[in-house]
Amino acid sequence: MYHHVGIATRFTPRAVLNGYASGYFPMGDPDGTIHWIVSDPRFVLPIGHLHVPKSLARFNRKHPFEIRFDSAFRRVMEHCAQDRSEENCNWIVPKMLDVYGKLHDSGHAHSVEAWLGGVLVGGLYGVALGGAFFGESMFTRRELGGTNASKVCLLALDAKLARGGFTLLDSQETNPHLEQFGGFEITFDEYAVALAQSIQVVATW
């Protein structure tokens, strides 16, 4: 469940990193206001131990997409910023695009991208801090042949985090799309302990 903990009056790259280190994450309103949010319980994914549905595993073995990292970070964010439905409205406001772009430039924000015939058909982005990775959003462009693209990107992210020595993959709040991968909920207190340990880890993106 989401809990608002305050308004981000100074939304800077440093403030964002401090927020993540404290267990907060930002969400924007249509009027441009950005709020700090806490989710309790917290939903996390087991790095290196994802449950991969058999049909997706078969699909992924065919290497259906070219997977790239960090080659189109802002474009990934822009696609994620589009409204999905009336129930799933955009929470990524323009200020967030700019600040996360700066985090990307400094090596803290990353994207995983699925390309098909030179066209970006899916992806995800998030923030890395120590050995923790905070997944923010993902998208798929099925109309361009990108069916399962975001799921394939998640598998690529998991493999990269495992190789790099990351210890925490935070997905904030449970959703049906990610439950199938073996994610689980922990209390915020448990999350805070895991977070404090993970951000001290020296991991490699």
Q: What pLDDT sits at residue 39?
A: 93
Three-point CA angle 185, 187, 188, nearest 5°: 115
Instruction: Scan for tokens 């772009």, then name that residue.
Output: 101
What the chain holds in terms of domains, given with CATH numbers, is 43-198 (3.40.630.70)
Please report the pLDDT score of residue 60 as a whole number. Answer: 97
Question: Which neighbouring-strand residues pair with 45?
Answer: 169
Closest CA to 20 of 122, 109, 137: 109
Tell how strand 184-186 and strand 168-170 pair up.
unpaired
**Spans of the chain, pLDDT less than 70:** 2-6, 83-89
pLDDT of residue 84: 56
Helix or strand (DSSP H, E) at 68: strand 66-69
* pLDDT given for residue 176 in this prediction: 78
Please give the model's pTM, rounded to 2 decimal places: 0.94
Q: How high is the pLDDT of residue 89?
A: 56
CA distances from 75 to 23, 39, 68, 105, 189 (A): 26, 27, 13, 14, 35
- Other Cβ atoms closer than 10 A to 148: 20
3-state SS track over 92-109? CCHHHHHHHHHHHHCCCE
Rounded Cα distance, 136 and 77, in Å: 9
Per DSSP bridges, beta strands 25-28 and 34-39 are antiparallel
H-state helical runs in 72-200: 73-80, 94-105, 149-164, 176-179, 188-198
How confident is the model over 76-115, as pLDDT tens digits?
A: 999 999 855 444 457 899 999 999 999 999 999 999 999 9
